[in-house]
Amino acid sequence: ATADLRIFLDTARGVAREAGALIRAAFDGRSHAIDFKETNAADLVTQTDRAVEDLCLRRLAEAFPEHAFIGEETTSAAAPAARTALGDRPTWIIDPVDGTMNFCHGFPFTAVSIGLCIGRRPVVGVVFNPILDQLFHAAEGLGAFVETPAGTQALPLSPAAVPPTLTTALLATEYGAGKEPHVLEPKIATIRRIVTRPVAGRGIRSVGSAALSMCLVAEGSVDAYYEAGIHAWDVCAGIVIVREAGGVAVNWTPPAGAAAVADEPIDVMARSVLCVRGVKGAAAGSQAAAQAALVGQLRA
């Protein structure tokens, strides 16, 4: 119930702050010993990723011993057969350092991302960028907020007062660590379509963190974000933050027989995401047509 979600959210916020302090302390932009995952030169992991994941798993397991856990580094290091599948049990999905490459290079878009799924649906999300000191959080039915040293604000922020359209859109995407042709080609084709066709989007940004890209959608700084090849830990928390900020978050490929975009379920394990911002002050549902149109254009 709502009271439980509040407890889950507040616990995750505390854990994210503690984790963020570790990231902040290690953020010197130069001297990280880097390992590579899956023999891919663009898929990095550092001691900080591992230390932050250990901390998050320990703290959340102490608080909620009956819950399940999926962490990026634990999962990546495990043999496929030993990886935790997402079931109906409450499951925390954690990316200890989303934007590890940014972290290694001293580019200040890096965050700890903590999401909770119940019955496979993302219901709590916390994304904390300790470098810029921005903590984004949301829980189903409780709204989305950003905490900064200046205070707490509800999302979206202004000036996202008009519905999003492709012709006026500032979009975000990532080239991503996955270099398989079936992942990269559709992304590049979409970028080409957006930047070459007249009046098809104003511009594209790539900030290097899926979680923070989704927070940019939630706050209204970008109109939409799409990516394929990402993992559940990159997007679980962000999905809740986008949705609670009045945005839509769906998979890039629609599920078979799906109804309206606004009612589409999202599969966090499906390795893709497409999200569109909400409109500040809009009545629930009043922006659905504009959001669905933009989703359709980006999927086309």
Nearer to ligand LIP, 234 or 264 (CB): 234
| Eight-state DSSP code of residue 170 | E
Name which of 209 and 287 has its Cβ closer to ligand LIP: 209
Alpha carbons 94 and 100: distance in angstroms, whole number: 14
What is the residue whose two structure tokens read 């008009």? 162
Q: How far is the CB of 267 from ligand LIP (least distance, A)?
A: 17
Residues that bind ligand LIP (CB under 6 A): 72, 95, 98-100, 174, 176-177, 209-210, 230, 234
Q: From the CB of 64, what's the least distance to ligand LIP, in Å?
A: 23
Owner of token pair 């889950």: 8
- Nearer to ligand LIP by Cβ, of 190 and 287: the residue is 190
Q: How far apart are CA 298 and CA 244, in angstroms?
A: 22
CB of 186 to ligand LIP, least distance (A): 14
Strand, coil or helix: 70: strand
Amino acid at 152: T
> What CA–CA distances, in Å, run from 275 to 118, 177, 210, 228?
21, 20, 11, 12
| Beta carbon of residue 1, minimum distance to ligand LIP (angstroms, whole number) | 32
Q: Measured from the CB atom, is 223 or 234 closer to ligand LIP? A: 234
Number of CB atoms found within 10 A of residue 33's CB: 9
Proportion of the chain in helix, strand, coil states, percent, rounded to 5: 35, 25, 40
| Shortest reach from residue 285's CB to ligand LIP, in Å | 30
Residue nearest to ligand LIP (CB): 174
According to DSSP, residue 159 is labeled T
Residue 288 CB, nearest approach to ligand LIP (Å): 27
Nearer to ligand LIP, 2 or 40 (CB): 40
Nearer to ligand LIP, 140 or 234 (CB): 234
Contact in structure between 128 and 256 (CB atoms under 8 Å): no
Residues in the chain: 300
